[in-house]
Amino acid sequence: MDIRDIHTPVMLDRCVELLAPALERPGAVLVDATLGMGGHTEAFLERFAGLHVIGLDRDTDALRIAQERLARFAGRVTFVHTVYDDIAEAVTGTGRDGVDGILFDLGVSSLQLDEAERGFAYAQDAPLDMRMDQSAGTTAADVLATYSEGELRRIFERYGEEKLAGRYARAIIAARGTEPIERSGRLVEILTDATPAAVARAGHPAKRVFQALRIEVNAELSVLEHAIPAALRSLHVGGRIVVLSYQSLEDRLVKRALAAASTSTAPAGLPVELPEHAPRFRLLVKGAEQASDDERARNRRAAPVRLRAAERVRPDDAQEIA
């Protein structure tokens, strides 16, 4: 099957529109911090003839597919196998001191969701892996086998915002005492059995637990918390960043980081704002934008998306960004 039939980039036209003023500059460089299967990058390379893209991804399968998809743009794409909180190192590794645009398309990718053996989807029975980079790290099965009841409850509450976190943690501890929980189908059975009938009718009992496990396995929130400030520091003046988030925990982190960067640091009561206190960024959209009704109807994965964007308007203190 053609990769374009299984991967539809979310809010593609809006991303292009917001980043265009920065990418139309001669010699512009874009970091696609979540390259995935290359759908967004392909569109940017087609639209901006002089653009170079640095594409980052921790998933080696995604990088392989993106390299095949973007082969016709040889020489205009640099592929980097890394987690996106290493964005600054990825940029300097190409001999550059900054870039003109940055795109983050957060969360689990179409490739990871659609490949059952990766274990991300609760609707399909598969080994409980959930690693975005299958070459290293702890699996979801490892988490379920080794975390205490309190630790499981913590991640279900914090990363899944699950009201039945304690109940589910107790059920998992009891079940693993009989046999290891190694497959998604078995975990779904445990969660379903532990869910009161009235609650089960409100949605699938595994949804939030699977989200929490995925975030824990991939350290997604801690990575994002470091990645956004690092990305902002990597932008030239006039450079722009666009971030697509798919759940509230991600979006809150992005919102806070962009708000801090676009707010004056002048002490309260100062009669005149000194230049060094002026905001380094300005927000490009009001609040968080959502996909249109038409796009959500065409692409179900666009339904939860929240887009935020900002532009660098002055360099950091004691730093000259050309």
Q: Residues 3-36: pLDDT tens digits?
A: 555 568 999 999 999 999 999 999 999 999 999 9
Q: Which residue has the higher pLDDT, 310 or 4?
A: 310
What are the Cα distances from residue 216, in Å, to 146, 157, 164, 220, 274? 13, 12, 18, 7, 42
Instruction: Please state, in angstroms and as integers, the Cα–Cα distance from residue 29 to each residue in 51, 102, 241, following that order.
Output: 6, 9, 12
List the one residue out of 208, 56, 185 whose CA is nearest residue 117: 185
Asked whether residue 319 carries a pLDDT value surpassing 70, the answer given is no
DSSP character string of 124-160: S--BS---SSTTSS--HHHHHHH--HHHHHHHHHHHH
Annotated binding residue 61: no
* Residues near 123 by beta carbon (within 8 Å), at least 6 away in sequence: none
Position 312: which residue type?
Answer: R
Average pLDDT over residues 170-176: 97
Specify burial of residue 187 (Cβ count, 10 A radius: 0-12, 13-18, 19+).
buried
40: annotated binding-site residue? yes
Residue 38 labeled ligand binder:
yes
**Residues 53-92 pLDDT 10s:** 999 999 998 899 999 999 999 999 999 999 999 999 999 9
Report yes or no: 168 and 196 within 8 Å, Cβ to Cβ.
no
Q: Which residue has the tokens 């968080």?
A: 288
Burial class for 207, CB neighbours closer than 10 Å (0-12, 13-18, 19+): middle
Domain extent listing, the chain: 3-111+220-312, 121-218
Instruction: Consult the annotation and say whether 39 binds a ligand.
Output: yes
Confidence of residue 198 (pLDDT cuts 50, 70, 90): confident
Dihedral sign, Cα of residue 56, residue 62, residue 67, residue 73 = negative
| pTM score of the predicted model | 0.88
Mean pLDDT (the chain, rounded)? 89
Residue 84 marked ligand-binding: yes
Domain 3-111+220-312 has CATH 3.40.50.1100: no
Superfamily name and number for 121-218: Putative methyltransferase TM0872, insert domain (1.10.150.170)
The yes-or-no verdict on residue 128 having pLDDT over 60 is: yes
